[in-house]
A and B are shown apart, each in its own frame.
Chain A
């Protein structure tokens, strides 16, 4: 099945699931980078965002979510780990590009260090010299850690392209710099609730 057909079918699944919904077509303008993945480019797990808004930091955050919950704000490009007392640990993230964004509530169902990566056929067609499977490692676009979201194929994972943090570039996954996903990984357990939000919060 080609990609467009796959997306059409899966879009219907998303909308009928009651758990996850597609972004509204009328959502605010999204800055989308047309940046490609770079399999083989090295980024170790000590690479983190060092400054600016996407640097990992404790922020004021008012929410009803219980401490330990992850809240992902796609429009803001932030992932919040709720700490309680109106505070959260905030990470900068890369999100899905337009048409690949979603919202809903899921749980962490699997945690993996240095996950494997299988390039999609479209990528193999463009870069035929790539291996069809790449075991986890610093050159892997999946990065240093992966947190699997429910029964979906979406993940919160690292990246070997830390400069894409803050951008809408992925196919629906959420990416953090490898050092930041490694930090988050140590703080998040299986079963952790994850709330993915589309609309800007008041």
Chain B
């Protein structure tokens, strides 16, 4: 048998971070407009995000369908989102290994953001692009982070 197999072992550490700032309390942002102050409730509960998810990312729309299939396949190593103590969900933000409680926030632009408590559209926030019971799609607000990681597809595990 001439086949040779060896799994690639990769270890990693990132020290990357976004550098955009946002508008708070009417101050002008030098880099990005803010979608609002975040007083409006999100149109759905954070419970919609709770569960085990297969996660994959893509950058170009042509890769979306196969990325969804890959996300589904990643349920063997799911990303588990739990409910937080104050109506949020426990998740990670980019480049941070510590899980945090994140909240859903509705911006004045009508979009729903997921991030730390505070104005929606912060550079560490994600924007929810679409959501159903079985799948949600997000990308990071920070353009640099979005460029690096692309658009994330979460496919719920365990349900057909």
Q: A135-B67, A152-B6 are in contact. Are A36 and B56 (CB under 8 A)?
A: no
Find B9's partner among A130, A141, A150, A171 (CB 8 Å cutoff).
A171
Residues from chain A with a CB closer than 8 A to the CB of B31 are none
Flag if A133 contacts B4 (CB, 8 Å).
no
Given A38-B14, A128-B92: A139 in contact with B2 (beta carbons within 8 A): no
B70 to chain A, nearest CB (A): 4
**B59 at the A/B interface (Cβ < 8 Å)?**
yes
- Whether the Cβ atoms of B149 and A120 lie closer than 8 Å is no
Bound Cα distance from A20 to B152, whole angstroms: 39
A3 at the interface (CB under 8 A from B): yes
Q: What interface size band does chain A fall in?
A: 35 or more
**Interface residues in B, total, Cβ within 8 A:** 44
**Dominant secondary structure of chain B at its interface with chain A:** loop
- CB-contact partner of B4 in A7, A128, A150, under 8 A: A150
**Stretch among B35-43, B71-79, B103-111, B114-122 lining the A interface:** B71-79
Given A123-B12, A127-B97, A128-B79: A133 and B70 interface contact (C-beta under 8 Å): yes
Would you call the interface of chain A mostly helix, strand, loop, or mixed?
loop
Is A122 part of the contact surface with B, judged by Cβ < 8 Å? yes
Q: Give the docked Cα–Cα distance between A126 and B98 (Å).
A: 10
Q: Which residues of A contact B11 (CB under 8 A)?
A: 36-37, 122-123, 126
Partner of B97, one of A37, A41, A129, A134: A129
Q: Is A132 an interface residue (CB 8 A)?
A: yes
Contact yes or no, A40 B14, CB < 8 A: yes
Q: Shortest Cβ distance from A196 into chain B, in angstroms?
A: 11
In angstroms, Cα B13 to Cα A173, docked, is: 20
What 7 new A-B contacts, CB under 8 Å, besides A37-B11, A123-B12? A19-B4, A40-B145, A124-B77, A128-B79, A131-B149, A131-B152, A173-B8
On A, residues with C-beta under 8 Å from B are 3, 6-7, 10, 13-14, 17-20, 36-42, 100, 102, 104, 116, 119-124, 126-139, 141, 150-154, 170-173
